[in-house]
Amino acid sequence: MKLGIFAKVFEPRPIDELFAAVAAAGYDSVQFNLTCVGLPMLPEDPVPAATIAEIGAAARRHGIALPAISGTFNMIHPDRAVVAEGLSGLARLGEVCLQLGIPVITLCTGTRDRESMWREHPDNHTSAAWADLVSTMREALAVTPDGVTLAIEPEPANVAHNAPTARRLCDEVGHRRLGVTLDAANLIRARSAVEDREIFDQACALLGDRVVLAHAKDRRADGTVCPAGQGAVDFPYFIERLRGIGFNGSLIAHGIDASEAADTAAYLRSVLATKSG
């Protein structure tokens, strides 16, 4: 596995300095975000060729891989104009992926909340919300280019809120370019180590053929996010299960400050270096 980090962990700076900071902190890949070059995450206009060339050159100069880019928007927002705007930006982001060789766009399956795509809403569990998600996901796949995988992430406050609902979406949409990001902290319940291991087992059994990216944030029992290794997530077991399904992509740290990046990298590398059995 490659060890990566959210590009947005670092304060805004020239792109060459950003990738230098990523490498200096001990990472060899990033989940990129166009906000790092002063653009909206979902671009409103075609991204200038010079900007794309600058990103690519800086990544190569510092040996940083670009396995994924963020493209989240509220896929089931009650206002369909918001969804349409998101799809338009996603199409433009897909073109960026082709030019930079980025294979994965990460997505949020959304909520009926009008203000935040990360906030729970009681209507998320309705048949209408599910139908909207399936429809929007099919549109998202239609507007993005072949060769770019769209990776949903099971999120507690979203429609696809766990491994079974993510599996259901993959099956109903039935498209080979629909993948999954597994975030250990979003899966666990932090009540017991045995229960959390069972949740990891279930997630890998259900989604193993769809996992294209893994996230490495941690959280404490009270739900607060913290650096990997400082909370309730059993990272040695999570990584062991990822290896068990043949995952060899990028493990992306986030939920941390730039000041915590190097220590987080050191911890995750120590776990990656440990072979089970």
Q: What is the pLDDT of residue 190?
A: 66
Residue range 11-15: mean pLDDT, rounded: 94
Beta bridge partners of 6: 31
The answer to whether position 165 is within a domain reads yes
The answer to whether position 34 is within a domain reads yes
Residue range 171-190: mean pLDDT, rounded: 93
Give the domain extent around 127: 2-272
Of 235, 219, 215, nearest to 227 by C-alpha is 219
Distance from C-alpha of 86 to C-alpha of 39, rounded to nearest angstrom? 15
The answer to whether position 171 is within a domain reads yes
Q: What is the pLDDT of residue 277?
A: 43
The answer to whether position 277 is within a domain reads no
The confidence band for 261, taking pLDDT boundaries of 50, 70 and 90, is very high
The answer to whether position 96 is within a domain reads yes
pTM: 0.96
Residue range 187-191: mean pLDDT, rounded: 79
Residue range 94-116: mean pLDDT, rounded: 97
The answer to whether residue 192 scores a pLDDT higher than 90 is: no
The answer to whether position 224 is within a domain reads yes
29-63 residue pLDDT tens = 999 999 999 999 999 999 999 999 999 999 999 99
The answer to whether position 98 is within a domain reads yes
Whether 165 contacts 195, CB under 8 Å: no
Distance from C-alpha of 50 to C-alpha of 128, rounded to nearest angstrom? 43
Helices 261-272, 235-244: crossing angle, 10 deg rounding = 50
The answer to whether position 246 is within a domain reads yes
* CATH number of the domain within which 190 lies: 3.20.20.150
The answer to whether residue 66 scores a pLDDT higher than 60 is: yes
The answer to whether residue 175 scores a pLDDT higher than 80 is: yes
User: What's the CA angle centered on 172, arms 166 and 176, to 5 degrees?
Assistant: 80
Number of structural domains, the chain?
A: 1
